[in-house]
Chains A and B, each alone.
Chain A
């Protein structure tokens, strides 16, 4: 019995890790007032960059691979920052374009890595029958650190003020545009790291469309957890557990497989609707989704 519980927890943590990392990234830029729906694309380029650095050589530097993934995520996110912060484009549509560019570019540039082996994957840590990826530990620590930083430090407050009331922050001398650009870059780097986890640890290979909708679920998760980093841990675990159920019940039950493949997406809708009915949307940063133009209300 204990083994079943441990296995469920191990699997839920594993699938939950990319969700948590990407969700933390999205919380970071949304708390600064910028929505980025392009997480799916950011994860895809992150996964590709990590795999491109690590594949083919047994002594590839994995730190470098993770760094490359975060850099790739940030670089793609820079497009979003320029479009939405500098050029005041619609944040939702720009994010959608980013998702298309990211998955498309990863598919085109990654074709040569398809089927290549990864000699040097990020090994899991083992404690008896319990295994955990270093990525998971990093994600959990990061959630705690981000909660503390946003809630209790001056720079965290500055970031939040830009998302809640950019005009007031501007009057107090905060550089609204720069803060938002940095938040978007940070969000991109974390989504890239989520992709690195998929390529270097979870699947340890590269395939087109390997993100398989996880990025979209991460975006929805932000609303579900009310823009709070610590709650994101519970949210990511919950959806990780769902994926584990799908994996376990597939083929072992009279329910058709397609029900399980649709389940995470149906559940996102249910969860968002519940959050909406509870008035969760009221937790959103007040200036979320709107470009800031000095002198305009």
Chain B
């Protein structure tokens, strides 16, 4: 068996390969469920009924789609620049921390406070990612550094809510006081879908798509990502591109963090409650979209179904929430392993 290069791989081929790898991934997951003594039909049936079957389920999918869309769109841009940001989880948390700090301690009049909360979220997430971009300048692989920063971010949140920021009126629990009511975001009735953040996510996804395909910076970013040698020859600074990309992708995750605390929790609480595994799942959102921020409008809800489905499986079939990691991992592996089939066709036998 050998691979023969295709000169111009078509979009249809890419879509078909993506779809085929998704199906393969779901089949592999079915095998794992069988090994765990579960009927795959029951698992998938329960997931679909619980997420798409009624308004409550759809609301849960919608709620999870919001951070996935924001983070995924930013990651899609980052992956195109070959900046493998795996630390969106930590950047989301830092966004939540900065947003909470602003909401709790900055004395701004009502209408100004909410925008300030989101700006603070962007700054928090962006700065956390900038650490990784700066470390890359001394040859520290950003996958490792962003991952390590996730663990540090979790410790930071725990320290704040159990220590200096611990609420005055809470006993026994660890979280902060509630934010002023002027920072609360409206939600769709009967759900936790804070729609202003959803609209922000749509705007970010479309905006980043425009940046990527139409702006000078987007062009520089694609050249740096696809052909670093040519970029250097053309005088494009890959270091500067990486810094900007980190700021954008981290900032988008930070916005997601601000949206979660302002839209749902109204306070800073434990890391595991702020993020339901959004950072890692968004990696799959971006990879499914093959590096197109706008396509995350489709892929974020798809992964939202899987995240919400994980919770349904926990409640209905008593499975650990870790099944979401299996879905994410298998889908990711199938996606990247199938990439060779987008740009090559297979020829059987010897050359």
Contact = CB atoms under 8 A, between A and B. Distances in A.
Interface residues of B, number: 45
A262 B151 contact: yes
Given A96-B283, A272-B145, A276-B140, A108 B330 contact: no
B159 interface: yes
Nearest to B280: A100
Contact of A101 (B135, B329, B337, B339): B329
Contacts of B27: none
A100 B163 CA distance: 32
Given A94-B333, A96-B283, A109-B36, A104 B323 contact: yes
Residue of B36, B328, B329 contacting most chain A CB atoms (<10 Å)? B329
Nearest to B134: A273
B330 A101 contact: yes
B152 A262 contact: yes
A220 B141 CA distance: 9
Given A262-B151, A273-B135, A98 B324 contact: no
A17 interface: no
A219 B140 CA distance: 12
B151 A265 contact: yes
Contact of B333 (A98, A106, A220): A98
Nearest to A293: B3
B156 A100 contact: no
Given A97-B329, A98-B333, A269 B140 contact: yes
B336 A90 contact: yes
Interface stretch (A79-87, A124-132, A190-198): A79-87
A136 interface: no
A105 interface: yes
Contact of A262 (B138, B156, B319, B340): B156
B294 to A, nearest CB: 22
Majority DSSP secondary structure for residues of B touching A:
helix
B11 interface: no
A108 B322 contact: yes
Given A265-B148, A269-B148, A258 B156 contact: yes
A89 B337 contact: yes
A103 interface: yes
Contacts of B147: 216
A99 B148 CA distance: 14
B336 A107 contact: no
Nearest to A280: B139
B158 A219 contact: no
A82 to B, nearest CB: 7
A111 interface: yes
B106 interface: no
Contact of B322 (A93, A103, A223): A103
Contacts of A273: 135, 138, 140
Contacts of B340: 87-89
B148 A258 contact: no
A108 B84 contact: no
A58 interface: no
Contacts of B139: 276, 280-281
A101 B138 contact: no
Majority DSSP secondary structure for residues of A touching B:
helix
A108 B140 contact: no
A111 B35 CA distance: 13
Residue of A102, A111, A262 contacting most chain B CB atoms (<10 Å)? A262
A98 B283 CA distance: 14
Contact of B320 (A111, A266, A276, A281): A111
Contacts of B242: none
A7 interface: no
Contacts of A96: 86, 143, 283, 332
Contacts of A98: 329, 333
Contacts of A97: 328-330, 332-333, 336
A102 B328 CA distance: 11
Nearest to B333: A97
A93 B35 contact: no
Given A262-B152, A269-B135, A37 B143 contact: yes
Q: Which 8 A-B pairs have the closest CB atoms?
A: A107-B322, A100-B329, A104-B325, A101-B329, A104-B326, A276-B139, A262-B155, A258-B159
Interface of B: 32, 35-36, 84, 86, 135, 138-141, 143-145, 147-149, 151-152, 155-156, 158-159, 162-163, 280, 283, 287, 319-320, 322-330, 332-333, 336-340
Interface of A: 37, 41, 79, 82-83, 87-90, 92-94, 96-109, 111, 208, 213, 216, 219-220, 223, 256, 258-259, 261-262, 265-266, 268-269, 272-273, 276-277, 280-281
7 contacts: A83-B337, A88-B340, A96-B283, A97-B336, A100-B280, A208-B322, A273-B140
Given A93-B287, A101-B325, A108-B36, 5 more contacts: A108-B32, A219-B144, A220-B144, A262-B156, A269-B140
